[in-house]
Structures are given as structure tokens and as C-alpha cells.
Amino acid sequence: MIDVDDLIELVRNYNPRTNEELLRKAYAYGRRMHAGQYRHSGEEYFTHPVAVAAILTEQRLDDATIVTALLHDTIEDTKSTYAEIAREFGDEIAELVDGVTKLTNLQPNSTETKQAENFRKLFMAMSKDLRVILVKLADRLHNMRTIRSLPPEKQVQKARETMDIFAPLAGRMGMQWMREELEDLAFRVLNPEARASIIRRFITLQRETGDVIHKITNDIRRELEKAGVEADVFGRAKKPYSIWRKMEEKEQSFSRLSDIYGFRIITRTEADCYCVLGAIHRRWRAVPGRFKDYISQPKSNGYRSIHTTVSGRDGKRVEVQIRTRQMHEVAEAGVAAHWAYRDGERVENPFAVDPAKWIASLTERFESAEDHDEFLEHVKLEMYSDQVFCFTPRGDVVKLPRGATPLDYAYAIHTRIGDSCVGAKVDGIRVPLWTRLKNGQSVEIITAEGQRPQASWIDIVVTGRAKAAIRRSLREEDRERFIKLGRELARVAFDHIGKKATDKALATAAKQLGLKDAPELLARLGSAELTARAVVQALYPELAEGGEEIDMSRAVVGLQPDQTFKRASCCQPVPGERIVGISYRGQGVVIHAIDCEALAEFEDQPRRWVDLQWHSGTHAPVHSVSLEMTIRNDAGVLGRICTLIGEQRANISDLHFLDRKPDFYRLIIDVDLRDVEHLHAVMLALEAESDVAQVRRYRDLGRRP
């Protein structure tokens, strides 16, 4: 593990004015909080936060970010609290640590709805302070570097998350080096045979042709000397995953794949970039369609560079990137360049993008998304796609994802123009609406009054904005017919399970599915965008079974062998919730939910706090939770409520009336449950019942252990 002096030295190398006392304090605090915790590899857990901090020093980041890295797991995994970190290190660092903590539970491989919600959380955290994501990416990078210590199934899960979210996010932020390393580390887990095969091919190729990179590098340097341009030249073989992806996309074997080498030329000035480009193209033949000028048209994350591909030695294709030193710093650090330090001063790189403006440009198009599917389409296109730049007839630039059509262009200009589009001209020539646009083309849209979007347009467009607008228009056009059909489908589905598709039940299902209201749910049901089964499952999910039930005596992990425990009566924690224990002499440990207000009185007694968590697996339905309900005062209502709870396989252990009125009852029902998911299912079923006016979890600080 890197000791504190070495870490401070890493920071001092680029920031001599670093707050050494703050770094020492954070290092000591983090080590103390994580004492006794170990990683799957057997190492002390604190080796991980220190390694994350070291990764961030490579990006020359400020003290607050380095301290956040050292503390990023304290709120999640130790007895530390937000209030304590704010008191010890200030509000800025507490906010950053809290932001990283909130991203810990992202579950990218879950359902589409949850995935969209996870992306919303991610972008919300980014909008507050982008440094949260920088710490999270460094955290994921170190976890991937040390992933071999995890069980095989966990390795696959983490690798898929990395490939689906974290690697594209790093690329979108301009941190290409991190994207490539994350992709390759994930590739090593997900397809080790393919990766090993590509590495073997590389070794064979090098044996047959010699050191091609060294030869081409010398060739380029000679051409630059002739042109009188000073520049640094670096060459490398592309990463195995990058080569694999090209093989898959082009459906070519390794032997036929040519552009497996990449070269970077770092110049002194912007003018030199174009001189180098001329020298390269004079010496070698340029490959058509492989030239991109991101200096005159920078990416939204600040990336600037000239890309070209040429036929080099022995006909091998060589990819060349040309940029200045300042452009290179942004290309390496991406948006993180905004916080970079050198010699104790914040670097004023003219090409570093303002993170606030970058986030605003990234998220503005998400705000129009009406549901999870549309939001997810927006995010994935924004995260995973390269861009093409087209021009309006007046010369304005319109950015679109690769593969976009004139219809996408029309909707990018304005929804009204997209809806009324009847044709398009590209570079003055009439083209079909499904034509794929290319860089630098000029596009003119032809519109007509009375034109409405066609259902076939959904398959033509690629942008989330265009798809959302077309779907919205089609829904509005047939909305009444779809609502009527959806209501009948819902009635049949609910009758099948012995329930009624009441307005309240449908409204509750809509809320659960992230839709605006019941009519919206019915419209989607009638248009086949949503299944009746999904609506029924949203309200009445079957409890997962299988596996041996965990005995109550061993439901909690983290106790000493001789320690006993009981649940606090004030907050009644259940499996699935974050918990902490408070020790009592002679009485064992009392478990509280992490957000229980009763914990405030123990803040000055840290020795009594015990770090605990629920045992993973299926728990027995023995955890009593109090629910406060307001129900209609009518014959048979209470009986139906009890039956409904029983249908969710939950047992009523006690019932107490708080208030009796002519038209309603207010009461507390104690229900025995398995875990927090079981609690959610019971409350959801109760909320959907038309005779239930209100249901909430009842917590009473007056009830103490």
C-alpha cells in the first residue's frame, strides 16, 4: 500500500502548494474508519481508497478530489456519517463523498426502467459536481485492475457494468486512455479466449515483420524534419478489445485487418498541426472517408485533434492523430482538465471545457424525455455514438450521431419541422429520408402543411429526440382508441387474478412504472408499448422463492461470536436496509436503520457503534413492521385489507385502532415480513386498493430498545 508520504509526494509533483496537513488527516481518518476491513484478495481494505487517490494524482487533480478518493467509501462501508465528514473536512468534501456514495448502488444490468433511473442518478450527480464521476471512474478502474480476486459470476457482472456504462462514460468525458483500459480489462473477463487469440496474433505478426511501430515512427520523424516542423511522435499497437470490435464490425479476420497501429504527433502550435497533416498526406496516400478535423469542429467535451488514416509501409493502414501539447492534455484528461494543477496553480488550458457548460449541453436534450425508454435512448446515443457535423443552408452547424438521417436532422432543428417533413436535399440533390448523413454535408428540409409523422419513421431515425417526437405524435393521433382498448385489456388481465382494474389501481401502477397517469398507462397498453402482464406484476409481484431460508439467529453479519442482537423498536429495520448496531453492556447489540433519528444521541459514543450488514439470501418472514393506514369505514373493508396482506404472504401480528370516524378508520397494523422488497410489495398492493386512503410506514422514537 502507498504510504501517506509517497501519496503526498505524488501530489506535490504537480502541486507544490498542496495542503499536506489535510491529506495526512484524510489518510489517517480513512485508515482508522476502515480498520479491520479486508478486500476479497485478503489485503487491507484501505489499500483500495489509496490506490484510487493515486490514480487521480495522474490526472493532476485538486486536493478536494484526492481527499474524496481517500474517504469515498467511509459513509457507505463504515460508521462514519455525512455530518462527521463535514465537521472534519468541510462541506465541499462532504458533498463530494456523499455524491460518490449515492452512485455506489447503480445496477446497470437491471431492467430497462431501473437502468434509466440509474442513469438519471448518475447525471444528477454529474450536474452537481463532475468530480464525483472522476472519483467513481477511478474507483471502477482500480476494482477492474484487481477483479481476479472476486468470484467468477461477480467478475462477469462487474465487467458487463464496466463495458455498458463506465467505459463509454469515460470516453464521453474525453478520457480515452481510461476508456481503453476499462474496455480491455472487461474484455479479459468477458471473452478471455478472443483476447488471448489477438495477443498471440500480435506476437506472431511482430516476429514476421519486426518492430513495425519503430520503423513507421522513424519514417514520420524523417518527413517532419523535411517539413521543418518540431514535434514528438509516439506509436502503439491498438488495444485487443479495439481490434476485436473492428473485426466484429467489419466482419474481417485479423489477417485482413489493417489499421491496428496508431500514431500520435504532438506539435508546438495549431498551425504546425496542419503542416504535419500536409507532410503526412504528401508522403503517404490518404484513405478516403477516414479524415476528421476536430480542431475546427471540436467535440463538446473539449477534444481537439486531426485524425487521418494513410496507407503506410507495405500497404498497412496507419491511423495518425495530430494535436498540440495543450490539446493533448485535454485529450488525456478530458473534462477533468478543468481541475488540473501544475506548480501549485490551476492550469488555464484554453481548450479545457467548463464542466458546468458541458453538463448543461449533455443533459438539455434529456429533459424532454417523457418516460424511461425515451430517456434511455437519449443517454445511450449520447454516450455511445460518435458524431457527424452537417450544415444548414445558412451555414450553421448541426451535430448528430453517426448514422443519422435527414429526418433526425429535421427534428434536431425543431419538432415542428420534423413532423411536417416530406423530403430532403443533401448538397442540393433530392435524397430519400432514410439516407445516412456524412460529415460536412449541407442539408435542406422540405416541409408541407398537413403532413403528419408516419409509423415507418420510427425505423428510419436513430436519435432519441426524433423517436420520442414521432411516438408522441402517433400516440396523440390514436390516443382515444388506444385508451379504450387498453382499459379492456387491463380489465381482462385483472379479472384473471381476481382483482378489479379500478382507477386508483391503474394510477398506482402508472406511478410504479414511471408513467404520468392512468390514461398514459392505458394508451401505452392499447398501443402494445406495454403489456398487461407488466401492469399486473407492477402491483402484485410474486415473492421470489427458492433457496434455504436464513435463520433469524444468523441474519446479521458483523457480530462477535458471543454477541446477541435485536431490532430497534423505533425504526424496525428489515433485511435489505442499511443498518448499524449500538452495543449495550449485558444486553448485546441493538440494530438501527442507518437513517434512524435515535442514532443522534450516540454520536459522541463511537466505541458503542458496531459495523453490521444483513446476511445475503432469503430471510424468514419474522421481521415485524408497523404500518399506519387510513381506510374507509364500511362493511367488509377491514376483512379485505387483511386478505390482501395475506395474499402477499405476510402475516398480521397485531392491530391497533388510533381513530374511529363515521366515514374512516385510522389504525396501525403490525405485519411480519421477509425484507424491504416484501415490505414494498405489501405497501404497493395496499396503495392500489380503492378503500385505502393512505398507507405509510410508522416509526416512533418513543419506542426504544
Q: Is 374 a catalytic residue?
A: no
Rg (CA), the chain: 30
Neighbours of 650 (CB within 10 A): 22
CA distance 82 to 76: 10
Nearest to 26, CA basis, from 74, 77, 82, 91: 74
Angle between helices 63-71 and 131-145 (to 10 degrees): 50
Helix, strand or coil, per DSSP, at residue 579:
strand
Tell me the longest C-alpha to C-alpha distance in the chain.
Answer: 98
Options 20, 43, 58, 77, the catalytic residue: 77
Options 20, 43, 76, 270, the catalytic residue: 76
Angle between helices 355-363 and 112-128 (to 10 degrees): 150
Strands 443-447 and 421-426, by their bridges, are antiparallel
- Residue 705: exposure state from Cβ atoms within 10 A (0-12, 13-18, ≥19): middle
Secondary element (H or E) of residue 236: strand 231-237
> Grid coordinates in use for 599?
442514532
CA distance 652 to 643: 10
Strands 664-673 and 651-660, by their bridges, are antiparallel
Residue 323 · residue 331 · CB < 8 Å: yes
Q: Assign 3-class secondary structure to 619-683.
A: ECCCEEEEEEEEEECCCCHHHHHHHHHHHCCCEEEEEEEEEECCCEEEEEEEEEECCHHHHHHHH
Can you say whether the dihedral through the CA atoms of 374, 377, 383, 388 is positive or negative? negative
Helix, strand or coil, per DSSP, at residue 234:
strand
Q: Is 449 a catalytic residue?
A: no
> Grid coordinates in use for 580?
448499524
**Grid cell 437491471 — which residue?**
110
> Tell me, what DSSP letter sits at residue 341?
E
CA distance 254 to 258: 8
Residue 85 · residue 71 · CB < 8 Å: yes
> Grid coordinates in use for 598?
435515535
End-to-end CA distance of the chain: 42
CA distance 130 to 242: 27
Neighbours of 83 (CB within 10 A): 11
Nearest to 651, CA basis, from 638, 637, 675, 669: 669
Residue 132 · residue 69 · CB < 8 Å: no
Active site residues: 76-77
